Structure 1
């Protein structure tokens, strides 16, 4: 049995480790110490439409293909409670916001809608019938039946536990070079930490802030849907959890070596203002966490999933789409491990093909 070292313990690395173990590899996860930051601070949304914007049609197509694979992975993990919602609402705060959603629905979403997803236009009255706690000021939007959300932290635990039960070994050793690993194959899935092991990755950091709010006895219940709102040209999402809501997310450039990743007051202020505009009852929730993480991004927005040499495969640069793209990435990497000459499939048109 051949061995593979997966460098990185975030959702991408863990998904690869589990898939490789299931394919018959002897696997160890070498956690570089930074890969789990983006996975730990995330909304956990699986909706491909929510990530579909003009100019990113390739990424949308990859997301659609990966979303198709998520039900099988949830079954493999054996914890259905990882799923926190199965439908999403895209809602608009103003007529201009609704116009933007209409444009996305007509020219982007309609081209890539997953067969599992049913997209329908809804009015402000429809929104309040579906989610009574949402603001009466919302003017309309779309319902996407089949756009899931996951509890990202429960997901990470389930991936670790399932991988460990399948024989994956976890090693918390920090490495400074690929040469320090004596495994037959090496997979670089360390997020921004990949830069240190393969400088040609040239990953850029995008900082994102996410809030976790907990329901109190006097609070209205969390929504049953994922709420993705456009409010005065800004985007905010509200994702249900068992005990409350996750609110996110900001995104702006940050130094790759930013050290301690702390949320900024302005980002937290904007998220709270927009979230309470969409769901006024959030004012009675408790703010239990304001978190920040660094997303590993490429120049063209596509992840890098390819073989570097006869011994090394890289899977990184997923940006804001790490959880969505995890099953597709894992399948692609296992294919590359099994056949060193294999090219990426059409479903994974990844970044850096000419590097």
Structure 2
């Protein structure tokens, strides 16, 4: 099991019966100014396959197939992106992947997504397909539930980028967000080597919007925070977490930065916490422009209404894309929900999310 050290906070997830360590990277979580990005495009990681196209050819299922079949990738420049649809770091990379696919698709580039799930619900092909459609992921996409492709490529986290030349060789590897200009330049170099001329394709700025907008790195002081007991830290409710059993929790009188709490009846499992009674809440003290929470819907399939407050008040102009100004939203799908986006000054704030009925699942807080 390989370990990888980042300049920022690292959240590790053990995904396949303890055999694969997956890391979700938020490059700018370093608290030292100027150390926000991982190194630029590097060589393939140790142990990476020498025949990446053969790995893709022998893998399945393809949620979105390669036009002409995987064999048609021979002679093309291929960019393989390891991602998972509830990871904010993966989502913020999508504008670049879509733009490169559109800019260079007729120049010999094929972008291929390899969806390697972090959470159990992301193993459901129907849910991944629905999320991919909502996220406008139209390039080929492979589901890698057992991390077979991940391991053969030697990938180490989300998002991971492998740059494969027209001879089928891995010419570059990039882990995490950032350094997109260098990545695009490598794509253009590989295309030129393959006999394609990308010089008539303008390199214009790529800007994400909504949940895909680049993080406000300079204001980011909060790391990912998992709710399941396996990776939970800084839990502040009196008595601590009770594993694998429903229990009553109370909110503390105050939270310090990056502490979180539960209120009401919750059953905390390894991966997520499930609300057992109406009126339960989860709270977090954070410092970031954006706050997201990965949530899962109730077992009966009906939406679960929730209300968000920030420092005890309705969010108003600080509401995220999944809530209104009064703080109201609903969990109808298993995915990442953007609860807060602050357009003004960023400071330490406390968010509280109260749910109208039981059954909702809470997985992880992420920030931007």
Please classify the TM superposition score into its range, dividing by the shorter chain length. under 0.3
1 or 2, which has the higher helix percentage?
A: 1
TM-score for the superposition, normalised by structure 1: 0.25
TM-score for the superposition, normalised by structure 2: 0.24
**Radius of gyration: which is bigger?**
2
The structure showing larger relative contact order (alpha-carbon pairs under 8 Å, at least 6 residues apart) is 1
